[in-house]
Structure 1
Amino acid sequence: LNAIVLGIATFDFVTDNEDVAHVFSQIDLSFLIIFTIEISLQLIYHGHKLFLDGWLFFDFVIVLLSWSLDSLKVFRAFRVIRTIRLVARLKTLKNLLNAIFEVGPSVTAVLALLLLIMYVYAVLCTELFGDLHELGLTDGNYFGRLDISLFTLLEMVTLEWAEIARQVEEVHYYASFIFGSFLVMTGFILYSLVVAIICDAVQENEHKEELAAAEKEKAESRKRLNQMKKRVEMLTMN
């Protein structure tokens, strides 16, 4: 609810009207008081263990900064990040989030490969197309320096490549082969690898949960069976 209020407070009808802005400010203050009471109760209940829990410690820091740095709205706006905690209550999203954390090393390796490919193509494009803007053949300086080439290729990875590619292809026909191979390797193969890694991790997490649930059910069954045996033995003794 606080996230919705923070979002509505950014509209012009709130920011341009002092009375409405004051009302939203008071509502925000009410939420801050509620958050303060909540984190205080959490601190009483958990004690020093609160600082060992990432989410609870994050809440504590945000509330503390909201009071001590009230004039800096950016810290108060950070409370909207608390809505991410809802992920923990949704099993599907929770499994996905856990999978993303677990496949961190594998995804990092794929990203490293992506950066290597981008660097190779950035050097190639800078050498081949670096003078096009100086000659007035392109609208922008897309490949004038290595850092500019890297940024341009990053744009192309996000599939905003058509205009840049067409301008360069009008001068160098072979540019289509360079850009095409780059997009195939980055936009399709590497993205597919990341998706495959995450999907595999999600399935593995779900399998682990199923095994854990099965083990728990077996343990409960054994417990009930032992209780029944004890009752039978007691009846037999009587």
Structure 2
Amino acid sequence: MKILNFVFLSIFVVEMVIKLLALGFAAYFRDHWNKLDFFIIVVSIPDLVGQVVPALDNFGFMTVFRVFRVARMFKLINKAKGLRTLFNTLISSVPAIFNVASLLLLLMFVYAVLGMNVFGSTDRFDGQPHVNFNNIGTSMITLFRVFTCDGWSSVVAIAFNCDDQGFQCNMTSATSVVAGLYFPSFMLLTTFVMLNLVIAVIIDNFIESAQSEGLLKTNNFVDLLKMVVTLKVFVRLLRLKLESLKNREAARRRARLV
């Protein structure tokens, strides 16, 4: 294993040196994949030194550098177009997903404050230590449970003051009426809007990555969709035309026989 580690690290170092001589430092570090290669080599050198000098191998921080050897697997991503496209999509989607997550956190905070004002002063959630709106912490946790749909129906049943079976609920009180507006609006904005925004961001970045890798030749997804719809319409019209020609030919044959 030590010999293989030395061999592969030597190959990586030679590859990096050749690229540096051919491209120069500025052009080399402009490519993110070259930055990854440089990082892998830097974190692999201390482990190699620890194998050569056994005294250094006893330090605890050497174990951390050994863990970073797993990053060598990412070099395989750069060799496959499909994996590289997915990886680039993931990296390029992080800033937009962070913005959506920040907006989602703000929305959950606003609803948590509203829930504290609506349900915190009632006895609906008494006896529920982990599902209540008594403070901002448990309110956020309760809303996160509703957002992930993890037993969210039981939370709504408690808010509507339903019985243990969830069949009989008090729908006439003011708190229940507010709960009927509070939870559906929260589910609509978070589960259906925010999650779809994340999906839209990922799809948009995937299309851009696929175009840059040559996997998608159209200018954008709308053009591809138009092409598919046009092709389906053309196939349908062609099928109808062929059927009409067959019917005419069959009618001519019957007329000749008569």
Q: TM-score, normalised to structure 2's length?
A: 0.55
Query: Which residue in the other structure is 2:118 paired with?
Result: 128
Distance in 1, matches of 2:217 and 2:181, equals 53
Is 1:196 paired with 2:216?
Answer: no
Decide whether the 8 Å contact of 2:132 with 2:138 is kept in 1.
yes
Where in structure 2 are the equivalents of 1:200-219 lying within 5 Å? 200-210=204-214
Decide whether the 8 Å contact of 2:86 with 2:206 is kept in 1.
yes
The structure with more helix, counted as a fraction of residues: 1
Aligned to 2:149, the other structure's residue is in SS state: coil
Q: Match of 1:183, as an amino acid?
A: M
1:63 to 36, 39, 44: 44
Query: Which residue in the other structure is 1:89 paired with?
Result: 79
Query: Which residue in the other structure is 1:180 paired with?
Result: 184
Distance in 2, matches of 1:213 and 1:179, equals 44
Change (3 A) 1:91 1:156: farther
CA deviation map 1:97-147 (0-9, x unaligned): 333444555444433332221121111122233467997431425433223
Larger RCO: 1 or 2 (CA < 8 Å, sep 6+): 1
Structure exhibiting the larger radius of gyration computed from Cα positions? 2
Distance in 1, matches of 2:14 and 2:119, equals 63
Aligned to 1:160, the other structure's residue is in SS state: coil
Structure 1 position 59, deviation (Å): 0.2
Structure 1 position 36, deviation (Å): 3.3
Is 1:76 paired with 2:66?
Answer: yes
Aligned to 1:138, the other structure's residue is in SS state: coil
Query: Which residue in the other structure is 2:135 paired with?
Result: 145
Decide whether the 8 Å contact of 1:62 with 1:78 is kept in 2.
yes
Decide whether the 8 Å contact of 1:133 with 1:139 is kept in 2.
no
Tell me, which stretches of 5 or more residues in structure 2 are unaligned?
51-55, 163-174, 219-258
Paired residues, number:
187
Distance in 1, matches of 2:74 and 2:141, equals 30
Where in structure 2 are the equivalents of 1:90-129 lying within 5 Å? 90-104=80-94, 106-129=96-119
CA deviation map 1:168-211 (0-9, x unaligned): 44376453542332122111211112212321332244345559
Decide whether the 8 Å contact of 2:116 with 2:135 is kept in 1.
yes
Distance in 1, matches of 2:125 and 2:211, equals 60
Query: Which residue in the other structure is 1:170 paired with?
Result: 161
Change (3 A) 1:44 1:131: same
Aligned to 2:41, the other structure's residue is in SS state: helix
Aligned to 1:150, the other structure's residue is in SS state: helix
Tell me, which stretches of 5 or more residues in structure 1 are unaligned?
1-26, 215-238
Aligned to 2:186, the other structure's residue is in SS state: helix
Query: Which residue in the other structure is 1:40 paired with?
Result: 13
Distance in 2, matches of 1:64 and 1:102, equals 29
Identical columns (%):
26
